[in-house]
Structure 1
Amino acid sequence: MDGDVTERQYAAIPIRVRNGHLQVMLITSRETRRWVVPKGWPEKKLNARGVAANEAFEEAGLIGTIHKKPIGTFHYFKVMPSGKRLPCAVDAYLFEVERELEDWPEKGQRERRWVSPSEAALMVAEGGLVSILLSLASMAAHEDL
């Protein structure tokens, strides 16, 4: 991205079907309030899928099933408290939501919203995530999920 070492993160793309239509949950980031998907840094005790599922729980209060393989990878710059921009590659896993909790660890720090994949693509800023969401919209239209 700009010659620096790229850090790795893992994301969950929470999905559900309502009235025959696929929906994606977006959440707001804590600092900038941008619309994002739950994501986090590698953890010693969890594999990539475990990290993504754990972030869906901590950041959005979701319980469900994480897919085995990433649906895609997107890149963005994480702005650190120092102002440094850290290039990150994020492996994104579909996360089929089974339960939405009323209370969760970061409830007071974030908003969450269910939208169509196309609407989600218009709300997020990361180009690679936009592409993943648009491919999800296309798959849903062709029932390839």
Structure 2
Amino acid sequence: MAALVSQENMVTPTLVSRTGRHLQRYSKHGSRQVVGCIPYRFKSREKGSLVDETGEEVEVLVISSQKGKGLLFPKGGWEMDESMNAAALRETVEEAGVRGTIERQLGKWSFKSKSQDAVYEGYMFPLLVDEQLEIWPEKNVRRRYWMNVREAREVCQHGWMKEALDVLVSRLASKEGGDLPSL
């Protein structure tokens, strides 16, 4: 018997990023809706690191902003023709060049744009990475960096993304029985 595979959690990389806002979703209050992922993986254990039950260190992937000022997690517009999960996966492939398994939503945050006088709704998901692409749509405009949770929290330029990272850390800690260092 053949197994059915859900297409919602799968993204095929393209060589170009989606552009334009004609399909952009907005909340009932007029806030632009954006979605993103905190890509993570387990690496060999180092002293004082966040670990899973097998003793492996958790690393997260941060990317440079398009304008080159600061580091953040991949995120972008949620469009009318896609589910929230599909949009988060698409943005992560476009901006960070990684694929994997998307997990349960970390939460919803409202935040103000630094460059415009606009309010956004941001939704973040953990993404357990299983593939890192050599070529991805924004390779020429972004850098990507794997680092431990503490380092990522220090360098991430958005407070709401740091809060999402804290939720991920708490979730991973509860899976392990709470044997994780505090941030």
**TM class by shorter-chain length?**
0.7 to 0.9
1:137 aligns with 2:169: yes
Any residues of structure 2 matched to 1:30-69 within 5 Å, and which?
30-67=66-103, 69=104
1:8: Cα distance to partner? 1.3
From 70, 74, 81, the equivalent of 2:105 is 70
Counterpart for residue 43 of structure 2: 18
Alignment check: 8 A CA contact 1:36 1:124 kept: yes
Sequence identity of aligned pairs in percent? 28
From 55, 71, 86, the equivalent of 2:118 is 86
Any residues of structure 2 matched to 1:80-119 within 5 Å, and which?
84-119=116-151
RMSD between aligned residues: 2.1
Alignment check: 8 A CA contact 2:108 2:121 kept: yes
Instruction: State the alpha-carbon separation in 2 of the partners of residues 132 and 63 from structure 1.
Output: 19
Deviations 1:100-140 (CA, angstroms, capped at 9, x unpaired) = 01111000100101111222111112222212213333444
> What TM-score results when the alignment is normalised by the length of structure 2?
0.67
User: SS at the partner of 2:164?
Assistant: helix
* Larger Cα-atom Rg: 2
Over 3 Å counting, the alpha-carbon distance change for 1:138 and 1:119 in structure 2 is: farther
Aligned length: 138
Which has the larger helix fraction?
1
1:90: Cα distance to partner? 0.6
User: SS at the partner of 1:137?
Assistant: helix
Please list every run of 5 or more consecutive structure 2 residues that lacks an aligned counterpart in the other structure. 1-28, 45-55, 178-183
1:38: Cα distance to partner? 0.9
Please list every run of 5 or more consecutive structure 1 residues that lacks an aligned counterpart in the other structure. none
Deviations 1:40-91 (CA, angstroms, capped at 9, x unpaired) = 1121221001000001111011111111x31122333335xxx532211211
Which has the larger strand fraction?
1
